[in-house]
Amino acid sequence: MALQVHIETYGCQMNEYDSELVKSILVQRGFELSDRLERADVVLINTCAIREKAHQKIYGRLQQLKRERALRRNELTIGILGCMAQNLKQDLLDGHGEVDFVAGPDSYRHLPELIDASRGVIEPSATLDKTALKLSTTETYTGVDPVRSGGVNAWIAIMRGCDNMCTFCVVPYTRGRERSRDADGVVAEVQALVRDGYKQVTLLGQNVNSYRHGDVRFADLMRRVADVPGIERVRFTSPHPKDFPTDLIRAIADHPKLCTHIHLPLQAGNDRVLDLMRRTYTNAEFRALVDEMRATIPGLALTTDIIVGFPTETAAEYEETQQLMEDVRFDSAFIFKYSERQGTYAQRKLRDDVPANEKTRRIVELVALQKQITGEINQTLVGTTHDVLIEDAVDKQPGFVSGRTDSFKRTLLSAEGVEIGDTVRVEIERARGATLYGRALNVTRQTSGHPRIAEAA
């Protein structure tokens, strides 16, 4: 009887994609997937190491699984995957006896052997004894077709690893050096997704600007993907402000299938702090890039990431971040308190000297500012019309569906006459915080590969 494997995924979109790769690898080796923990023989936790909160969540989950394992008389096999496995391997194995093995992001092809060794089916090897953590300079999982769970959007990793070495970031230590996938392979994956009914793809990389395979750069790849018949929308994340190419800005402006939303991580607004973070751009250069983007791409929505309380950041330096936010007016922002990540330059060399209460003050202030800006921007959209790609039903509001505009605005409307996967022309009637509410004007539905326009009631 085949072993049942339950996979839980935490963290970023890249982890979501990696879990789809893991499913494919296991299914190909005869394992079966289970969406219910109580039926599983093996549980795999795909982890994130970017923030302290992510660590705490995993440790809390391990305590729950420890109790579940005890109820089963240790019959449940537990494996930790991903960035946390790579970064905190000894703590996970030595301090948590419930963990049977750990595997890093470049080692998923070894999971069948790790599972079998943990369950006594095979003898552990010298290189695979509870750990598979070797970082690769070549692994891109070529030939592994992700097992996806359906929906409207599909993630596609176009590259792995990162060479930027930002001082606060653990990714280069957990995902290794940067390498790009074959462009033809990416396009073939998109074509297969169209055959499976997907309408949108999101291209993933730690720094997509750096993508290069032969003579193909990222803007070239974006155009090739957008030209695949049947794909309605193409998104990407994340770029880096230091080398965002003008050619990509032009591509987004010119190609109707490249979405008018860019997530552009700022991190901080003070030049000294940016230099200490090793971000390699200045406040003025970031502003100039934003100006170029907005001058070239009509209706562009910009989102960002910000860290408050980086080591030695003074109150005056923090205020430069606040001022930049007020001036640039991002559509939304993910704002975090700085927390040390094991092995990073900042953790090794910079003292985490901004008091916790001061970090809290700063984040509360910026969240309130961004909430105000988001609300004001969205109010200007009332009365306008947008194409909304419907993604799912709204659990907390029966009778409503949710989708995204081209510029990534979450939009709710009546489910009457609308199906998931439809593209709906919507008039925005009101805005509440980060959410728009509208009424359907007409619906475009793909039927046997041909669009059909249905007037909404």
**Digit-coded pLDDT (tens) for 355-407:** 999 999 999 999 999 999 999 999 999 999 999 999 999 999 999 999 999 99
- Residue 4: name the closest of 72, 94, 59 by CA: 72
**Digit-coded pLDDT (tens) for 426-441:** 999 999 999 999 999 9
Q: What is the DSSP letter of 209?
A: G
Tell me if the pTM is above 0.85.
yes
Amino acid letter for position 57: K
Q: What residues pair up with 386 in beta bridges, in sequence order?
A: 426
Q: What is the DSSP letter of 425?
A: E
- Residue 127: name the closest of 98, 97, 107 by CA: 107
DSSP 80-96: EEEHHHHHSHHHHHHH-
CB 391 within 8 A of CB 412: no
Q: What is the pLDDT of residue 126?
A: 65
Low-confidence stretches of the chain (pLDDT beneath 50):
448-457
> Tokens 């040390």 label which residue?
340
CB 317 within 8 A of CB 272: yes
The answer for residues whose C-beta is within 8 angstroms of residue 415's C-beta and 6 or more apart is 393, 399, 400, 401
CB 146 within 8 A of CB 157: no
Q: What is the pLDDT of residue 97?
A: 82
The answer for residues whose C-beta is within 8 angstroms of residue 273's C-beta and 6 or more apart is 310, 312, 313, 317
CA gap 74, 41 in Å, rounded: 10
Q: What is the pLDDT of residue 52?
A: 79
Q: What is the DSSP pairing of strand 301-308 with strand 212-213?
A: unpaired
Q: What is the DSSP letter of 258?
A: B
CA gap 422, 412 in Å, rounded: 13
Measure Cα distances from 402 to 165, 415, 418, 423, 437 in Å.
38, 9, 10, 11, 9
Coil, helix or strand at residue 387: strand
